[in-house]
């Protein structure tokens, strides 16, 4: 069965976006070691899943970046990997290489996991990641903790009805200030 990885950037106080979806607090001057780490976790990935809200920003940004003369292999992977956007409002995908999932979240994810292929990565947004977490669908968490507190915002744990027990697999600090915490479900 395929593994579902969640990769999210968070502030040190646990927010993935500001109250109005602000993401200007994120660290983007990543050092080479962090880029290498990211390539390592995405190497076995052949499918990207997103919520509709994030998909509307994520997909066009990566498509535009891929046309730049200096576009790297990671950028091309973000464009070329099949994407599944989970939505209750769209009826047709406006993006290439992207299908829509409109059914029950658990059934759709389990169907994806049962298909042959590599790992699946979920990038969010906040509501979508929260729903994945609450349904206990994540097999591996990669939480990129940015060295900033933003005070208030959106979290990915607000849909939990009970505690979520996780086992720390690895914690890696990078020179750019980000620390990546890798967890598996306990």
Query: What confidence score (pLDDT) does residue 124 get?
Result: 80
Separation of first and last alpha carbons in the chain = 19
The domain ranges of the chain are: 4-9+28-135+158-185
Inform me whether the pLDDT recorded for 145 exceeds 90: yes
Mean of pLDDT values over 16-29? 93
Dist CA 62 CA 97 (whole Å): 13
Which of 11-15, 53-57, 165-169 bottoms out in mean pLDDT, i.e. has the lowest? 53-57
The DSSP call for residue 7 is: E
Give DSSP secondary structure letters for 120-175.
Answer: EEEEE-HHHHHHHHHTT--SEEEEEEES---SS-B-S-TT-SS---EEEEEEEE-T
User: 4-9+28-135+158-185, superfamily in CATH?
Assistant: Dihydrofolate Reductase, subunit A (3.40.430.10)
- Encode pLDDT of 101-135 as tens digits: 999 999 999 999 999 999 999 998 899 999 999 99
């Amino acid at each position: 069965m395929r593994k579902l990885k969640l990769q999210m950037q968070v502030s040190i106080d646990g927010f993935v976006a500001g109250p109005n979806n602000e993401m200007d607090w994120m660290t983007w001057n990543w050092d080479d070691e962090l880029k290498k780490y990211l390539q390592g976790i995405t190497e076995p990935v052949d499918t990207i899943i997103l919520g509709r809200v994030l998909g509307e920003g994520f997909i066009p940004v990566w498509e535009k970046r891929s046309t730049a003369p200096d576009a790297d292999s990671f950028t091309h992977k973000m464009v070329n990997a099949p994407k599944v956007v989970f939505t209750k409002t769209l009826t047709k995908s406006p993006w290439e290489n992207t299908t829509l999932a409109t059914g029950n979240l658990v059934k759709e994810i389990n169907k994806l996991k049962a298909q042959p292929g590599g790992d699946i990565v979920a990038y969010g947004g906040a509501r979508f990641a929260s729903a994945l977490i609450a349904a206990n669908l994540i097999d591996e968490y990669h939480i990129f903790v940015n060295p900033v507190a933003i005070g208030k915002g959106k979290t990915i744990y607000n849909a939990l009805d009970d505690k979520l027990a996780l086992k720390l697999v690895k914690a890696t600090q990078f020179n750019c200030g980000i620390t990546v915490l890798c967890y598996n479900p306990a």
